[in-house]
A and B are shown apart, each in its own frame.
Chain A
Amino acid sequence: MRNALKIAKWEIQKNIKNKTFIIGIIVTPAIFLLFSFIGSLVKPDEENTLVYVNDQVGAYEALKETAKTQHESWKLEKTDVSKEEAAKLAEKNDDAVYLFLDQQSVEQGNVPYYAGADAEDEFAEQSQILSGPLKAVQLKQAGLTDQELAAVAKPIQFEKAQTLSKEENAEKADDFLKKFVPGIVGGIVFLSILFNGMQIFQSASSEKKEKIAEIILSSITPSQLMQGKIIGYFVLGMIQAFVYLAAAIGIAIWKLDPEVLSYVFVPQTLLFVFIAILGYFLFAALYVGLGATVEDMSSTNNMQGLVMMLPFLAFPLIGPIFSDPEGMVAQVGSYVPFTAPAVLIMRLAVLEVWPWAQIAISLAILAVSIVFLMYAAGKIFRIGIMMYGKNATPKEIIKWLRA
């Protein structure tokens, strides 16, 4: 075991220093983050409008406060310009608005302004925002006490009460997210360790191509080498999964629901991750055995090509499973070892009630398949890794398995 761990450590170190791994681990979440950012960047950027206020009634501070809270892109400034000057300035400054507050405008409730071309439409639409502080001035002048003022100033709000079914729906949506989040966690873990697991193929194959197998096997046994590779790429996959999850959870909290983190740490997540890990070991055994038979990727035979594709068998099932997670396709998929991990993760993520009996049978089939495949991979690996110069033929592989 100590030797296997040395190999695992070596594979981890070798890959972690490798640009491809680093780029892979950073770029994918970075792309997601980038798109989220682009989303927020693409939102039309409102240009600042400079609102110059010629204030004769002492309402400037209140206006500034209102603008600050309700319309950030308005920058208020005091000014002494006359209406004539303002009329001229507004023509020159497209983003400027000149507002004239005097006794007359307060009494009549009519505030004259001059606006530049760009600011004109927007100010016309939004100017009501500034009516509050002016109304307050009006009311104060009309002799209302502060208490009366407060009562008048407080807007009347209409509170929408939920009907019964809507309340349920809201809870359901909440439930759905709760159910779906562990599934997504399982899916991310599965995909990252699976894709790293596929590197085992490359790693075993390069051992042959670079003719180092015999040097390494002079120190350790083939099964230690194989175990080391499986453990090493598992850890690499988990590192990647961790980074992806951290990024995904971060984005989810930011964009969807701040509560997401509490949906992640639930017992269901453990089952999803367990299924993902079982799936990893199944495909890792497959790839490590296969890698030991292939030296040159460009001349793999049909059998090797088919084995390579096995993990993707579950992809065409995505549609049928999500449309009917209890259907025939979903159930059969749960019992076929090569589709079981992905199918289980998809089904359990959407199913209301988990079919425990089916889960148990499916996991048992997976476990037995893993034991069998590991044994077979060990036999193939032992001989295949030492065969330099050519890819193994199906006939040879069968012979090794029988040996």
Chain B
Amino acid sequence: MLETLLSVKGLNKWFKDKHALKDISFDVKRGEIMAILGPNGAGKSTTIRNIMEIIQPDSGEIEFTGHQGIPRDKIGYLPEERGLYKNVRVMDMLLFLADLKNYPLKQARERALAYLEKFGLGGKENMKLEEFSKGMSQKVQFIASILHEPELLILDEPFSGLDPVSQDQFKEEIYSLAQNGTAILVSSHQMNVIEQICSRLFMIQNGQKVIYGTLDDVKTQYANFKCTIRGENLEQAGLENLPLVVRTEYKEGMAILSLGTETEPAKWLRQLPETLEIHELSIDRISLHEIFIDIATERNLIREAGEVYA
């Protein structure tokens, strides 16, 4: 059982008349990667800013195990809106930010050099940030957030604007930090990446919790099976009348059948009409991406699947 490091309890925040956060509660544990997901404007960054004490919640508590208040030097933070001073040398920038976290400078310098090397920026520590590309700057920002060996690392959209190679580098690093005991809270739109690394997730929409649990739980609980069939005359095959089919969608010679929670794929497949002309068939769980899209577009596939959620 992993130890809880950060506990958010009953967070509420209003902006004028808008109830931006409604009773948000979750934990982040040591050594886990916890994802906070949701469409734009759902309240992810507001939640994170409350944790960082950049804005104050109207009600609710944030507890950091073993500390009174939030020990900001124990937290690494990569905000969504981020940048660095342009006319400053990379090393100066990194050391300044480490110094603000009360991290010993000698150690910070050694770690900075090692990380720059690791991210393919070896030997560039004396270059000014204005000479860096956006991706390179993002790497420096990421290094800045982990340089002081934080116990909790908060990453708000860490993958945005990264090429696939850098994205993989970040992913691996985040994963290995978690393996070494760092508690990680990450928000992202890249569901495929999140699916690969996170152990638990918290999905939020309109400032409200939609889903909270481990990735597997969420998938079993919410993300049911779907069967995708490519073939001829699908629309006339009466697929919507098959047992456990809760929704049918036809597009470009494909039928996508959303299946109910009790579906056992092997059994269900046997019930397909023998006359059906199948070119391709796949059966898989609805991906996090689809759950996310559903929530974002408020189509609420999950609800149609018969689940009631908070």
Contacts and interface: CB of A to CB of B under 8 A. Distances in A.
Contact of B77 (A6, A211, A215): A215
A218 interface: yes
Which of B72, B73, B81 has the most chain A CB within a 10 Å cutoff?
A: B81
A214 B54 CA distance: 8
A210 B84 contact: yes
Contact of A215 (B49, B73, B82, B86): B82
Nearest to A19: B87
A14 interface: yes
Sorting the interface of chain B by its residue count into under 10, 10 to 19, 20 to 34 or 35 or more gives 20 to 34
A219 interface: yes
Contacts of B49: 214
Contacts of B52: 217-218
Interface string A199-225: 000000010001110111111100000
Interface in B69-86: 72-73, 75, 77-79, 81-86
Contacts, number: 57
Contacts of B87: 18
Contacts of A220: 72, 100
A103 interface: no
Contacts of B78: 215
A369 to B, nearest CB: 29
B66 to A, nearest CB: 19
A79 interface: no
Nearest to B55: A386
A126 interface: no
B101 A14 contact: no
A14 B141 contact: no
A23 to B, nearest CB: 15
B54 A217 contact: yes
A299 B75 CA distance: 37
Given A214-B79, A215-B97, A215-B145, 11 more contacts: A3-B100, A6-B100, A206-B85, A210-B85, A214-B49, A214-B54, A215-B79, A215-B83, A216-B100, A218-B54, A219-B72
Interface of B: 49, 52, 54, 72-73, 75, 77-79, 81-88, 92, 96-97, 99-101, 141, 144-145
12 contacts: A3-B100, A6-B100, A13-B92, A18-B87, A210-B84, A210-B85, A212-B82, A215-B82, A217-B52, A218-B77, A219-B72, A386-B54
